Amino acid sequence: MAEKICVAVRVRPSISEESPSGTFWKIEDNRISLHKLHGTPISGLSYAFDHVFDESCSNSKVYELLTKDVIHAAVDGFNGTAFAYGQTSSGKTFTMNGSLNDPGIIHRAVNDVFQKIQMISDREFLIRVSYMEIYNEEINDLFAVENQKLPIHESLERGIFVAGLREEIVNNAEQVIKLLESGEVNRHFGETNMNARSSRSHTIFRMVIESKGIDTGSGDYSSSDAIRVSVLNLVDLAGSERIAKTGAGGVRLKEGKYINKSLMVLGNVINKLSNGAKQRAHIPYRDSKLTRILQTALGGNAKTSIICTVAPEEVHIEETKGTLQFASRAKRITNCAQVNEILTDAALLKRQQLEIEDLRRKLQGSRSEVLEQEILKLRNDMLKYELEREKLEMELEEERRSHKEREQRIRDQQLKIENLSSLVSDGDRSSSQDSMKESPKDECNDFKTPCFKETSNNAFVAKRSNYSELPDFSPLPDSFSNVADEDTWFKMNKGYIADLDSLQTTPARKVQSFPPQDITPDCSNDNYKLELQNLKTQLELVIKEKDELQRKLEEEVQINRRLMGEISELKQELDLSNNSLESSAQRYGNLEREFQKLKDERDSLLQTVSESSKNITFLTDQKENILKDLNCEVQRRKDLEAEIKQFSVAFASRQRSLASIHGEFKSKIEKLRAENLVRY
């Protein structure tokens, strides 16, 4: 369900004894407005919020009205965030941390979380806490000083989180308070003209609350199987500063620049979120680590409350205006909070339960089950390696087949190139013959078919019939093997016997071997020139085709080389797989031997444990007897002491009686002596 962010404004007590001379801030119910000295409100400077707390308000009231509902919702499974925003020295740290007499929101929230958990009897809880600071745009762990400059990551399971941040599992509020006190020691503070103990970094105290319904014992699925995981962020922001007022310089100036930059990005994010979903453009969460960590709290699945602290002094009016405008924009943001329930093993509570059960099983059954699982895992790995090896062999065989096909295509291309080369050579010979035709007188005597082989003795010339017409084309010796037309043969060669195999390569082109008798020499020369041009054109085309085929051949050769390299790499991978398979087999054998050793060791340990149990039983009985004797001796000692006391009392009384008797006896003796003296 969509709900607005809860925003409140808190005015700290004035630290200046001077009375306002021009304007002052007036609080009326949940509204704060700027008034002139005589009481007239200034137009456009009145702001209404969910709560407005005056100078006399305590941290207890702020927590009860603003933050308590967010804390209780976090225990119920909702994400929650509460943070303080304002200028430096406006009371943010006091609101969040408080004092001994008036604890702040963080301390009250911690106590309230554990008190509410005590009241819930049908769920079990696990709480983890972490404490970080953002100092000069670097995230430091306040629980572990060595964890500095931590990165921010994001995952589907955990969302946005800080990697390497130390988390402590806590059981009570006192433990959390001690951790907070130790973290505060590591926080960066500094002195400025406006604050003797100014926060120089943003701090985020995070509580991760996991809970699970107590199992009723039924085996069926129930709501107790769902684990609720909520995140509670309690943020104390550093205050915005004006250098003219703080007098910062050196390190303090650098810190102030980083603080103002991150707060400016936070303001931009709030401004974009307040525009609404339709008018909302890109939201620059990643421009600052503060907004990146608080991304879910600012515009997502969380219940959020913001306390904006302001200073009432007239000298800080501009800073107060900026804080109130920030609060007004934040009031328009809408979040959709929902209970975070998961059914996976991602929650630490469920993981620890599983680990405890696993440890119990290990303690009960020693390490045999663990080793069996390891052996099963190794067997699965061996099967996987075997399947990968078979797959690689199939790929290698496929590559070999494709390599053979490429080699066959390369050979075909080479044959084509050789044929085209022969055609080019024939074209050259034809051009030389055409040049001979320019002298028609010597045409019949000089033009002869070249012979590249020795003269064949069994070659013969067939006599043409008287009824056959003159040929329009060069003779096609394919149909006659080594037989040619008689008249054409004698006209061409004057009886010269040539190798007819060379004639088989002549293409069938529609060109007259010799001009008819009625054609004039001039016309013949023109026809020969035209034929020569055609042959040259065809020769150029053939040469181009040859070059193209040569280029394709080179590409095929390069592809072949690359494939050979890939095949060698696949062979290496196959060898590595075989080596890993062998090592896995050796490891499997070693584990089996170790399993047997551990089994023997377990038997010996069980025997030793049984003997130890007997010894412990004997010693226990002996101890009980000794304790009985000791108790008897103690009782006797007490009785003797009592008797000694009685004897002492009796002895003292007897001593007193003897002393009195001795005195009486002495007095009687003296009396008798006196009587005897009188007689004599």
- Which residues sit in the known binding site for ATP? 86-93
Q: Report the largest interatomic distance among the alpha carbons of the chain, rounded to a whole angstrom.
A: 224
Q: How many beta carbons lie within 10 A of that of residue 661, not counting itself?
A: 10
Please choose, from the candidates 74, 7, 78, the residue with its C-alpha nearest in 3D space to the C-alpha of residue 333: 7
3-state class of 82 per DSSP? strand
* 155, amino acid identity: S
DSSP per-residue codes, 138-154: EEEESS-TT--S--EEE
Cβ-based neighbours of 285, under 8 Å, separated by 6 or more: 269, 291, 292, 295, 298
Binding site: which residues?
A: 86-93
Rg (CA), the chain: 54
* Strand 189-190 with 198-199, pairing: antiparallel
Sign of the Cα pseudo-torsion (10, 14, 20, 22, in order): negative
Q: How many beta carbons lie within 10 A of that of residue 260, not counting itself?
A: 16
CA atoms within 13 A on the CB side of 552: 16
- Which residues are paired to 229 by β-bridges? 210
DSSP per-residue codes, 286-332: GGSHHHHHTHHHHHSS-EEEEEEEE--SGGGHHHHHHHHHHHHHHHT
* 135, amino acid identity: Y
Instruction: Judge residue 489's burial from the number of C-beta atoms within 10 Å of its C-beta, 0-12 exposed, 13-18 middle, 19 or more buried.
Output: buried
Lookup: tokens for 183: 């973290």
3-state class of 23 per DSSP? strand
- Which residues are paired to 105 by β-bridges? none
Please choose, from the candidates 454, 449, 486, 448, the residue with its C-alpha nearest in 3D space to the C-alpha of residue 470: 486
- Which residues are paired to 8 by β-bridges? 51, 307
Residue 228's φ and ψ, nearest 5 degrees, are -95, 130
* Strand 80-86 with 189-190, pairing: unpaired
What torsion do the CA atoms of 213, 217, 221, 223 make, to the nearest 10 degrees?
A: -20
Lookup: tokens for 629: 């004797």
- Per-residue H/E/C for 568-608: HHHHHHHHHHHHHHHHHHHHHHHHHHHHHHHHHHHHHHHHH
The three-point CA angle 186-187-188 to 5° equals: 120
Lookup: tokens for 492: 């061409």
CA–CA gap between residue 421 and residue 542 (Å, rounded) = 8
CA–CA gap between residue 556 and residue 569 (Å, rounded) = 20
Q: What does the chain come to in residues?
A: 680
Q: Are 75 and 84 in contact (CB under 8 A)?
A: no
